[in-house]
Amino acid sequence: MKVITVKNYNEMSKKAAEILIKEINKNPDLTAGFATGKTQLGFYKRLVKSNNDFSKITSFNLDEFYPIKKTDKKSYYLYMFKNFFNKVNIKKSNINLLNGNARDYKKECKNYESKIKKNPIDIQFLGLGENGHIAYNEPGSKLNSRTRLVNLTKSTIKRKKGPKNGLSMGIKTILSAKKIVLLASGKGKAKAVRCMVKGKIGEDCPASFLRKHKNVIVIIDKKAGSLL
């Protein structure tokens, strides 16, 4: 795990965008995994401003609330199109998102896993929850977990102000990516960063499982890294 500490949120966003653009320039038809949340907004703004060519990439998103309609303001579907997909030249047919309104969530999760196996993720971007969660893999999530329905913790529900459940890539799904880049910003993430980087590897801090991967880059600002 390589930890890069930068001055602030803007520097973190810039560094993350530079990493993805460099990867796309090397491999224009790569498969990228994307995350949502406030931490990622600066990253997407930088990508949009870059005017880079995204026409050949394939994308997968980490998670989605369940149940939720695509038109709901809280949906990650809307978040991605509003902040990124509608502002770049990515082909809509290459975009893969979990359907938060699927009638059969088990079938939806199984199909998503199949798609990822056919299009292995080259670079996966992650955020970090204050309780150490990655995607919606809350504390207690298993190392061998795959895309599934999860029960969100009270703290996550309160912060996200959404449904009590979500569909999420599992830990094993995330670790199957060839390269992982995690972004964390602000003092509120400092404890989670410490448990991820220096704590015991285990279910109490799902992000700690990332230390089992051979190619992980963690980009944090000074406040997020204040407890290291």
pLDDT at 161: 81
What are the mean pLDDT values of the chain's consecutive 10-residue runs (228 residues total)?
98 98 98 97 98 98 97 97 98 98 98 98 98 97 98 87 94 98 98 98 98 98 98
Count Cβ neighbours within 10 Å for each residue of 132-142 and write b for 16 or more, e otherwise.
bbbbbbbbebe
| Ranges assigned E (strand) in 47-178 | 58-61, 63-66, 95-96, 123-126, 148-151, 165-168
pLDDT at 98: 98
Span 2-221 CATH architecture: 3-Layer(aba) Sandwich (3.40)
Catalytic residues: 63, 131, 133, 138
Q: Which helix (H) or strand (E) segment is 195 a member of?
A: helix 190-197
- Residues whose CB falls within 8 Å of the CB of residue 205, separated by 6 or more in sequence, listed in order: 132, 139, 192, 195, 196, 199
Alpha-carbon dihedral 58, 64, 67, 73, rounded to 10 degrees: -100
pLDDT at 80: 98
The domains of the chain are located at: 2-221
State if pTM tops 0.75.
yes
Which residues make beta-bridge pairs with 219? 4, 183
